[in-house]
Structure 1
Amino acid sequence: MSASISTPLRPHAEDAYADELAALAAADERPRPARWRLSPHAVATYLLGGTLPDGTVISPKYVGPRRVVEVAITTLATDRALLLLGVPGTAKTWVSEHLAAAISGDSTLLVQGTAGTAEEAVRYGWNYARLLAEGPSREALVPSPVLRAMADGKTARVEELTRIPADVQDSLITILSEKTLPIPELGEEVQAVRGFNLIATANDRDRGVNDLSSALRRRFNTVVLPLPASLDDEVAIVARRVEELGRSLELPQLPSGVAEIRRVVTVFRELRDGVTDDGRTKVKSPSGTLSTAEAISVVTNGLALAAHFGDGVLRPADVAAGITGAVVRDPATDRQIWREYLESVVRERDDWKDFYRSCREHV
């Protein structure tokens, strides 16, 4: 089997950026908390990017306020768990994964929150064949990612915490407050060793889905991840992620598509904010979130179209269908909002004529 076939489509952060992590560890002379692979300062450099004394360039994984990253990292160096909160597309999962990779060297201790997440996913389950044959025993126990992180002194991750049923959420209270997990069936408990902590993410538009109890919320330090502050920041984020995805998908190398990326990001920001970039024209906002993550998806799909069915250059026709699909989530209302935006804003921009014609074909 060839290397390209056996290579994971999306390597874990600790594998994809192993060289950077190794270089940071070698140059890191600052104090490290127990079982941390890097010092808090080095973890911040890993996330935000920088250049090491030996000239090694560390690529930025997150573009945003430095203080937000510093607060998140120092929270994990204490006994408080971290809750990353924000609207969809603010890189909560991305930051969570890279924090775990930099701190523990392992981002895989993950509980994916859904409406069907059971308590066993947070605590432990059983190998029922062994349980029936041998009775309760350590060998029959199936540890959750959280339990494994407690035993190994690593960072556990819980994605979409507010999607998890409230009674399952509350099974975290004892773990986070007492740093222990009782196993009544065995008359034992697992105590967390130093280095253990937990990162949870939540979408702040999910209020009312399964709100956190006040007892559980007190166990977290909440850090809000903002949307990219400027157009240039968001364009840089989208361009970097599209380039990474293009490499992993083995898409042909194409000429720069920054102009189309800037156009897609501009449309998303204006519809999100309800006003054009120059502040002169108010526009209606559609029902979708139009997040940075969705912009990345639109451009990546356009890149594939340009590579396989176009002339190798990313053009308005390659992104038109994707951007229309992202905006028009509710055909009853969003289609009219999109038409009005095209006619009142896009049509009036001299250098957007091709984009206007391409989008009109899909409305």
Structure 2
Amino acid sequence: MTVPGPDVTTDRTSGARPGPQALRPHAEDAFAEELAALAAADDRPRPERWRLSPWAVATYLLGGTLPDGTVITPKYVGPRRIVEVAVSTLATDRALLLLGVPGTAKTWVSEHLAAAVSGDSTLLVQGTAGTPEEAIRYGWDYARLLAHGPSREALVPSPVMRAMARGMTARVEELTRIPADVQDTLITVLSEKTLPIPELGEEVQAVRGFNLIATANDRDRGVNELSSALRRRFNTVVLPLPATPEAEVDIVTRRVSQIGRSLDLPAAPDGIEEIRRVVTVFRELREGVTEDGRTKLKSPSGTLSTAEAISVVTGGLALAAHFGDGVLRASDVAAGILGAVVRDPAADQVVWQEYLEAVVREREGWKDFYRACREVAA
């Protein structure tokens, strides 16, 4: 006999929130109180069908304190102007393309923008090499199609079509992973604001408020380059890596704390020194030079992004919680760092060993980290 589990589904139309069992709530659910407080305090003009004004959307992303004392936590730590340009783009007739190396929070920013603007971040197309046209345009319920022929009832709208009809924000992740001929189905949507349905002799016209956010990894250049016609329909905003070690430590600490709370892991600040070490290692190997600029380094094949640092620290906290004393230590993050750095067992292993012996071994206060890394590499 099968015992049904708790219902954790979310009805996007009714506004029901997912149950507490949801491992990773959508942005509009996880930060519902902040969004409600912003909406109540927001007295600035709002574009049609926007839940918040552009100013309030930027505040939601960047953080701040409202007149009633409500603290809005930062969702993105970076240049304010980047967020302002992204938000203002969505208030125009041009779509937004968030571009950057892996781990620069493109998906995270995309989700939170959609949540703040439309109150729904789930109108999403995930780009892959196998993404078909139907994922962007529409598909068919083949049982109804065969029984009754083409009809509105048999049509299955894509997330983009639903966003157009409802005046909301659609999202396309990893746009350059999608085959070029499928990408180009967006041209008419973005230029003419319409999606033809030739089988029915009809079309869906975008309602005011509709726009689209796409993300692309600039390491994928040459995979499926955007056509010039499609690229012209986007305003491209490049999300940079964190400018300073302090900013990156702040990002990692905040995000790990959020993840840790959902997993009942120890608070990240208890291991702030290890977080600084992880960030230092990643930044030095990524940039090919030590923090003091004295030693040139070889860089490994991986990206060593902020997202990977978050993953390493989260994994370390899990080790500390379940197999240690709950305090993040060097031995908890060493294996994760090794896995992140050594992607190519031949070339990256040499890079890592040279870094350990030339930098980590000689660095004051890092002896425990050096021993832990040597142990997992043995």
Alignment TM class, shorter chain as reference: over 0.9
Cα distance, 1:3 vs. partner?
A: 9.8
Match of 1:153 in 2: 167
Match of 2:328 in 1: 314
Is 1:328 aligned to 2:349, yes or no? no
CA deviation vs aligned residue, 1:245-299 (integer Å, no higher than 9, x gap): 0111122457611100000000000000000011111100000000000000000
CA deviation vs aligned residue, 1:157-188 (integer Å, no higher than 9, x gap): 00000000000000000000000000000000
Contact kept in structure 1, 2:128 and 2:177, CA below 8 Å: yes
Correspondence for 1:262 among 268, 276, 296: 276
Match of 1:75 in 2: 89
**CA–CA separation in structure 2 for the residues paired with 1:217 and 1:329:** 33
Percent same amino acid at aligned positions? 83
Figure out how many residues of one structure are paired with residues of the other and give that number.
Answer: 363
**CA–CA separation in structure 2 for the residues paired with 1:275 and 1:350:** 18
* Closer/same/farther in 2, CA of residues 150 and 64 from structure 1, 3 Å limit: same
The CA RMSD measured in Å over matched residues stands at 1.3
CA deviation vs aligned residue, 1:87-131 (integer Å, no higher than 9, x gap): 000000000000000000000000000000000000000000000
Is 1:244 aligned to 2:270, yes or no? no
CA deviation vs aligned residue, 1:69-93 (integer Å, no higher than 9, x gap): 0000000000000000000000000
Match of 2:305 in 1: 291
Correspondence for 1:14 among 19, 28, 52: 28
**CA–CA separation in structure 2 for the residues paired with 1:286 and 1:45:** 37
SS class of match (2:361): helix
Match of 1:89 in 2: 103
Correspondence for 1:64 among 63, 75, 78: 78
Correspondence for 1:195 among 209, 214, 218: 209
| 4+ long deviations beyond 3 Å | 1-6, 252-255
Contact kept in structure 2, 1:242 and 1:296, CA below 8 Å: yes
**CA–CA separation in structure 2 for the residues paired with 1:350 and 1:339:** 18
Match of 1:139 in 2: 153
Match of 1:272 in 2: 286
CA deviation vs aligned residue, 1:8-53 (integer Å, no higher than 9, x gap): 1000000000000000000000000000000000000000000000
SS class of match (1:202): strand
The letter for the 1-side match of 2:52 is L
The letter for the 1-side match of 2:327 is V
* Closer/same/farther in 2, CA of residues 163 and 283 from structure 1, 3 Å limit: same
Correspondence for 1:104 among 94, 98, 118: 118
SS class of match (1:103): helix
Cα distance, 1:332 vs. partner?
A: 1.0
Match of 1:117 in 2: 131
SS class of match (2:225): coil
**CA–CA separation in structure 1 for the residues paired with 2:329 and 2:358:** 22
The letter for the 2-side match of 1:213 is S
Match of 1:216 in 2: 230
Cα distance, 1:7 vs. partner?
A: 1.9
- 5+ unaligned residues in a row in structure 1: which ranges? none
Cα distance, 1:155 vs. partner?
A: 0.1
Contact kept in structure 2, 1:255 and 1:312, CA below 8 Å: no
TM-score (norm: length of structure 1) = 0.98
Contact kept in structure 2, 1:254 and 1:307, CA below 8 Å: no
Cα distance, 1:6 vs. partner?
A: 5.2
Match of 1:225 in 2: 239
TM-score (norm: length of structure 2) = 0.94
SS class of match (1:257): helix
